[in-house]
Structure 1
């Protein structure tokens, strides 16, 4: 028995939506991919669009379904075999990967970034190595940096030691020199994920004094055992990325989800809406009892903003200066 014309038209319409959705995602994934040369990347994008358009012209439903299935299989094979790499021509601030090796209670951290900035793009590059004793890990601070509205912020941690040193670690997109930053690109295989390991004068200072972002610093209320576990988890990932690169993903592997992963947070916390809208990460931490509860959150948020003079430049005393007016310092006076 042949299918009546109306049923065939209905089946055809049902396949149109999946094909269009696949075309949008596949073409975007190819366009934002790291395929080289650029002519190959652009050619693959155009070819994918043409093939998807051609499949829409197939009138017989089963043949149209077969065409869609074939396109999906080909795309899946490419996508799953498209591997991240540490060997690209990176933007200057991402050119050198940090490494961390634990030797008993002592941790050796190599290539700690300590740039001196004139402007965001005009800087003097400098790296140094340092040793940290796990027995002297004293604090972990949560930093949130806003450059536009209140919903989206960059979130990272800074590990403090009782000798006054701080090691800031920011989970970011490792951008190639030839690509400008793109929020959309972060949803595809475009950026590798990197743990920028730096001096606070660099990592926080460029945000407070150079970019003039709104930056907040909160002290995390954690036990010594938990602090050490989080720090060691970070160190392990920093070392692993030197030999096993990973893709960054705006939804699944971003600055906030990685912090929760390194802290071994429960799955339900990773699914909280404030993980995607990272500007509210501090609010989530407060609700989890990880921040100073002597204040309501609105007050804590207001007091935790780092205040800097108009023409300030990060110097050797930067870490102490930014904490002078924060809640913990006020309580200790």
Structure 2
């Protein structure tokens, strides 16, 4: 017995509409839950109502005997109107500067540049004892870009091997250092959510910090697994990347922006800045799975040459050295012991 083209065509349309309903219901539930600055009870009611509408529509549309009926058409129209309202509300969300921010992201990085002389305001140098016990300290620091000689890629693993936070630490001839990191600008009592980062839950902020703050808080306080790799990039290009971070920070001062887990995060900003130097850098899945970004940098010849990636990773693991150094004044020296590309302990030699 051969099925007619009509019923088969109708069935395909019904399946397609059901799949769209499922996707739209799930997306709408997340869009209602994450970005809205409402209490959990209110958000729960909104999500429950939206899911109930989606399930009611799906239950009618999915059945062959009611597919195409007046009830199905009415529910689809109601669902479409509701989805348009949710989407419109989500698109109308705007990032803000005036929220009750967590202490570690409460201030925005500002800078003044006069030739090669750079003054950074609001450089973070907290003394961390636990994630909730710390001494806040914000500093003004000056750097001479003519004396910028090196940079290190820092990878901090906090959720398995595929996900890591990416930081860049710039080194100067006088052994001073400053680390740049793009992070979520979380509010008080707020924590990171990868899903929330897809739904305009967080604003973004560029943090400039001392290594004993921003590296140590990850390795020693949050107990993350941290790796450090010397970048093989000429100082002239490093200066471009350094200035690029400052330009991004200045842009955020004038126009706040949402963090996005996939498109605007700690790894993609480095990729964007690097592409200004090397426009041919390819897109790669490791920009999303940031835990593998060091391997991407290695494949693009951005890490020190003459070593296998396995050797760089093994010798670049600084977790234990950081925990042993703790808050020692020579923290930056001690975590670099034995790392390829740094010939003598504490030496900030030119990359090329």
2-side partners of 1:40 and 1:268: how far apart?
48
SS in 2 for 1:264: helix
- Identify unmatched segments of 5+ residues in structure 2: 62-68, 348-352
For normalisation by structure 1, the TM-score amounts to 0.89
Instruction: Indicate the residue corresponding to 1:202 in structure 2.
Output: 213
Instruction: Indicate the residue corresponding to 2:158 in structure 1.
Output: 147
Instruction: Indicate the residue corresponding to 1:325 in structure 2.
Output: 338
- Work out whether 1:302 is the aligned partner of 2:314: yes
For normalisation by structure 2, the TM-score amounts to 0.85
Instruction: Indicate the residue corresponding to 2:64 in structure 1.
Output: none
Distance 1:320 1:7, change over 3 A: closer
- Work out whether 1:254 is the aligned partner of 2:265: yes
- Work out whether 1:264 is the aligned partner of 2:275: yes
Instruction: Indicate the residue corresponding to 2:295 in structure 1.
Output: 283
2-side partners of 1:82 and 1:34: how far apart?
9
Residues 28-39 of structure 1 aligned to structure 2 (within 5 Å)? 28-39=30-41
Distance 1:147 1:4, change over 3 A: closer
2-side partners of 1:144 and 1:163: how far apart?
24
Instruction: Indicate the residue corresponding to 1:162 in structure 2.
Output: 173
2-side partners of 1:81 and 1:128: how far apart?
36
Preserved CA contact (<8 Å) 1:209 1:312: no
Tell me by how many angstroms 1:245 deviates. Answer: 1.2
2-side partners of 1:162 and 1:124: how far apart?
29
Tell me by how many angstroms 1:166 deviates. Answer: 0.7
Instruction: Indicate the residue corresponding to 1:16 in structure 2.
Output: 18
Tell me by how many angstroms 1:273 deviates. Answer: 1.5
Tell me by how many angstroms 1:194 deviates. Answer: 1.4
2:46 equivalent among 44, 53, 56: 44
Tell me by how many angstroms 1:68 deviates. Answer: 4.6
2:85 equivalent among 74, 98, 113: 74
**Please, which moves more after superposition, 32-41 or 182-191?**
32-41
RMSD, aligned α-carbons = 2.6
Preserved CA contact (<8 Å) 2:322 2:335: no
- Identify unmatched segments of 5+ residues in structure 1: none
Instruction: Indicate the residue corresponding to 2:226 in structure 1.
Output: 215
2:252 equivalent among 211, 223, 241: 241
SS in 1 for 2:341: helix
Preserved CA contact (<8 Å) 1:112 1:129: yes
SS in 1 for 2:200: coil
SS in 2 for 1:17: helix
SS in 1 for 2:213: helix
Tell me by how many angstroms 1:142 deviates. Answer: 0.4
SS in 1 for 2:325: coil
Distance 1:13 1:326, change over 3 A: closer
Instruction: Indicate the residue corresponding to 2:201 in structure 1.
Output: 190
SS in 2 for 1:176: coil
**Please, which moves more after superposition, 193-202 or 264-273?**
264-273
- Work out whether 1:229 is the aligned partner of 2:240: yes
Distance 1:103 1:13, change over 3 A: same
1-side partners of 2:8 and 2:306: how far apart?
68
